[in-house]
Structure 1
Amino acid sequence: MYLPPHFVPIQPDALHRIMRTHPLGALVTSGPEGLDADHIPFEFDARAGPLGRLSAHVARANPLWQRCPTGSAVMVIFRGAQAYVSPGWYPSKHETHRQVPTWNYEVVHAHGRLTVRDDERFVRGLVARLTRHHEAAEPRPWKMGDADPAFIDDLLGRIVGLEIEITSLTGKAKLSQNREARDRLHAADVLAERGQGELAQAMRDAG
């Protein structure tokens, strides 16, 4: 990933925020047939190991967990807020006419080693935690106990757990930091008006 210095988020907290706010990661693997990617919601634990740990599950029918055994090197891509930015949103464009369109975004690449967890206790705990987290905002949060136990047991038998011990974290925040402050802030205001509040706030904070 190309990393100009002004686009790199330095603080680990910024990387963790993107991973937690946008937990659907693209798990990139390499096997006998070449590169592949699976899109999976991850749980991130920053306290596990020096750089943290990712946990997820896949369908037992998914060949990923057999094609990429424990110890395989993998990468997970988390894409945060992103949007097109028009040069017309920059006040300086109307003075100099020396601006062009661009795309602003936040992204994290997490590299690590995969561990396959074909373990009912592991997947049960993981699914319970993921459900509790993502249901928290619901008026009546769904929980595993709401379903018939035999039904849940059957479903848990159809999935396999994955853990990734993170060995490196690289992030990029391309938020118009290379533009004049007035251009960056006005573009943020336009994005906020168009429902891109998360990206707009990140651009405001990038100064």
Structure 2
Amino acid sequence: MYTPRAFAVDDLPELQQWIRHTRLAQLVTFGEQGLLASHLPLLLNSDESPNGTLYGHLAKANPQWRELQNGAEALVIFAGADAYISPSFYPAKTEHGKVVPTWNYQAVHAYGTAEVFSDAARLLGVVTALTDRHEARREQPWQVSDAPADYIDGMLKAIVGFALPIERLIGKRKLSQNRSPADIAGVREGLAVSADVRDQAVARLISQGV
């Protein structure tokens, strides 16, 4: 990921927090079958390996797990808030007109080589942790144990798990830091009045100075 110094984020706890806040990541590999990508919910264990370890699972019918098993390097993309930035937001537009559109966003790229596993107990641990995480805010959370045990056993046989120790992390926060204070304020105000909640989210990030 192209990351000018002004937009780079190197703080490990902050990057790990971004990862945890991303509900669906993109797993990308390149191997014998070329480029493959899957959209997956993932878990981060920050106590394993210096940068943390990602856990997830793939359907056995998905050929990407074989690329992981064969040692292909994986890229995992965690996309955060994003917003289109109109030149009309900038006071500089009326001053000299030398402005163009751009995009503000946050993203983390994690790289590593995964271990693939099919042990039923270990798989059950991963799917249980994922389920508990995403059911936690519901009034009556569904639990894996709510389903018949033989049904769950059959479902576990249809997936493979993976553990991916993160070898490299690249974080980028592009929130108009390269613009003048007046232009930054214009971007924040322009996004804040948008009806799009995604624009409003970026406006809040700019307001927080993060």
TM-score (norm 2): 0.91
Percent identical across equivalent pairs?
A: 40
Q: Which runs of 5+ in 1 are unaligned?
A: none
The yes-or-no answer on 1:204 pairing with 2:207 is yes
Aligned residues: 207
Instruction: Specify the alignment match of 1:37 in structure 2.
Output: 37
> How far apart are residue 145 of structure 1 and its match?
2.1
Does the Cα contact within 8 Å between 2:68 and 2:113 map onto a contact in 1? no
Deviations 1:110-136 (A, max 9, x none): 011110011111111111111111111
Give, in whole Å, the separation in 2 of the partners of 1:51 and 1:44. 10
**Deviation of residue 171 (structure 1)?**
1.1
Deviation at 1:70, TM superposition (A): 5.4
- Name the residue aligned to 1:172: 172
Q: TM-score when scaled to structure 1?
A: 0.92
**1:126 match: secondary structure:** helix
Structure 2: state its 5+ residue gaps.
Answer: none
Higher mean alpha-carbon deviation, 159-168 vs 190-199, is at: 190-199
Determine helix, strand or coil for the equivalent of 1:49: coil
Q: CA deviation at 1:33?
A: 2.6
| Change beyond 3 A, Cα 1:204–1:144 | same
Distance 1:67 1:133 in 2: 28
Q: Counterparts of 2:160 and 2:12 in 1: how far apart (Å)? A: 29
RMSD across aligned C-alpha pairs, in angstroms? 1.7
Q: Does 1:84 align with 2:46?
A: no
Which string of whole-angstrom CA distances, capped at 9 and with x for unpartnered residues, describes residues 17-59 of structure 1?
2211114221111111322211111111112111100000011
Matches within 5 A, 1:2-81: 2-69=2-69, 71-81=71-81
| C-alpha contact (below 8 Å) 2:91/2:182 kept by paired residues | yes
Q: In structure 1, what is the equivalent of residue 186 of structure 2? A: 186
Preserved contact between residue 18 and residue 108 of structure 2 (Cα < 8 Å): yes
| Aligned counterparts of 1:122 and 1:192: Cα–Cα separation in 2 | 45
Q: Secondary structure at the match of 1:68?
A: helix
Counterpart secondary structure, 2:167: strand
Task: Give the AA of the match of 2:14.
Answer: A
C-alpha contact 1:31 1:67 (8 A) present in aligned 2: yes
